[in-house]
Chains A and B, each alone.
Chain A
């Protein structure tokens, strides 16, 4: 009896093509270690402990008067904001005539385990703001905070409102109880005291694990299948390798900072309730009264939009704008949408106030 099964010959073709792509991949693509993540030229203008303040070189003749400092997140490195020329958040802002600084938190070591919120808010961030004010002869600067960097920036502006003219909160982590992501579920059940007492800094492997359980099959399988399928597409693979390198480059988080972070934001949710203290000072969101621009990604799977949006309603500012974008956490800052929609809107808003 003859077999009735009909297998599409294209399946075999696809399998053969995919296998060829896997074999050819090393010839066509650079290894992540061979790629430099520094895209837009900059100078390191201040270094304190492990942190560095980067000042990007201007790309326009005329610049807006008020400089902009970006407070990047504590997870992964700042490179995602300057991942490649055509998707660079920093470069786009420079081309719009802004004077851009970036605070690189660096990679803490065991000796930094006692660094806490106070050190980050009233130490590193404040020193950077003061440096920029002196350097640019400005009385105030514009401040942008991204993700966890926005939580630090938010605490900062409540304590030092006199130094900040405009505040941009991009996917800020604010209301931990409203965050419905896997991260918040894990954070809520964590014995963070025991963790910090035993291992000190939060190890990068643990952070990497927490993020790997978000969309595990899409991120763990489909993503790599697409990579090998599109191995001939130079633009695609270049972007892929850069983002992968960025994803794998997670510095440890200082123990004390992590402890306060998990307890105050995710477990007790003190920030949005105006009950949080940093370095003995009360963080009252109503004290934020400068113009504020909040950017939220509707498809954010790392941080629920509901966790970010309450900031817009909690502050005392009269001049405030909330923008929602149909993209994800990273898509909001490093995608074609960010270049064509998110950044032009931010630039217009900021230019009118700079």
Chain B
């Protein structure tokens, strides 16, 4: 089926990549894998995971570009409006120190007000929230790729380290509670 939309295109390439990595993995001769205990031991499945992540990164990147464009568009529009206001208030080119100082004051006040108004607005908040969300998706894919590389080098993944942190945190809490109980018993 021919891809019609960007989503179809992305799905098509994802399928193509998965198909060939799977087929190559199945077709590859096992004796060479048998001898490998190093980072290449799971090359085919690792390559598959990484290519899937790279394809998905592309999708997230499209979303990110959309929101980052809107972000800079909002900044540029606010800048233009603020500059027009400054031009209306200070039509002449300043000629002395006092005039320059007052121009600077007017410029800063108008720009600070207009930009604060923008940052306070719902449209900025919503777009910024989505922009950060897309950036996090990119980070997530990057983390997943790093995990594949870490595991191929026999190192713990981020999730495995997080599990240890969680366990440590819970153990610390239990120890603290026990210490408090012990203190109470000793007081009695």
Q: Which of A72-80, A86-94, A178-186 contacts B (4 or more CB under 8 A)?
A: A178-186
B112: interface (CB < 8 Å): yes
| A14 partner residues in chain B, CB cutoff 8 A | 97, 100
Q: Complex Cα distance A218/B140, Å?
A: 36
Secondary structure call for the B interface: helix
Q: Which of A22-30, A155-163, A188-196, A282-290 contacts B (4 or more CB under 8 A)?
A: A188-196
Would A11 and B128 count as touching, CB distance under 8 A? no
Q: Mark B157-179, 1 if CB is under 8 A from A, else 0.
A: 00001100110111011001000
Out of B96, B108, B133, B143, which one reaches A8, CB within 8 Å? B96
Out of B129, B139, B140, B173, which one reaches A189, CB within 8 Å? B129
| Shortest Cβ distance from B165 into A: residue | A111
The listed residue with most B CB atoms (<10 A of its CB), out of A189, A190, A216, is A189
Would A182 and B136 count as touching, CB distance under 8 A? no
Out of B129, B143, B165, which one reaches A114, CB within 8 Å? B165
Chain B interface size, as a band, is 35 or more
**Chain A proximity of B77: nearest CB distance (Å):** 16
A115: interface (CB < 8 Å): yes
**Chain B proximity of A62: nearest CB distance (Å):** 32
Given the contacts A6-B95, A115-B169, A215 and B112 also touching, CB distance less than 8 Å? yes
Would A190 and B95 count as touching, CB distance under 8 A? no
Given the contacts A194-B133, A195-B136, A111 and B168 also touching, CB distance less than 8 Å? yes
Out of B112, B136, B162, which one reaches A191, CB within 8 Å? B136
Secondary structure call for the A interface: helix
| A85 partner residues in chain B, CB cutoff 8 A | none
A198: interface (CB < 8 Å): yes
Given the contacts A189-B126, A198-B143, A114 and B112 also touching, CB distance less than 8 Å? no
Q: Report A187-239 residues with CB < 8 Å from chain B CB.
A: 188-191, 194-195, 198-200, 213-218, 221-222
Q: Report A102-118 residues with CB < 8 Å from chain B CB.
A: 110-111, 113-115
Given the contacts A7-B95, A8-B95, A10-B97, A198 and B139 also touching, CB distance less than 8 Å? yes
**Chain B proximity of A193: nearest CB distance (Å):** 10
Would B125 and A114 count as touching, CB distance under 8 A? no
| B129 partner residues in chain A, CB cutoff 8 A | 186, 189-191
| B132 partner residues in chain A, CB cutoff 8 A | 190-191, 195
Would B120 and A185 count as touching, CB distance under 8 A? yes
A123: interface (CB < 8 Å): yes
Q: Complex Cα distance A110/B169, Å?
A: 12
| B124 partner residues in chain A, CB cutoff 8 A | 185
Would B126 and A217 count as touching, CB distance under 8 A? no
Question: With A8-B95, A113-B165, A217-B115 given, can you name 18 additional A-B contacts, CB distance below 8 Å?
Answer: A5-B95, A10-B97, A11-B96, A11-B97, A11-B100, A14-B97, A110-B165, A111-B168, A114-B169, A189-B129, A194-B133, A195-B136, A198-B139, A198-B143, A213-B119, A217-B108, A218-B108, A222-B108
Interface residues of A (CB under 8 A from B): 5-8, 10-11, 14, 49, 110-111, 113-115, 119, 123, 180-182, 185-186, 188-191, 194-195, 198-200, 213-218, 221-222
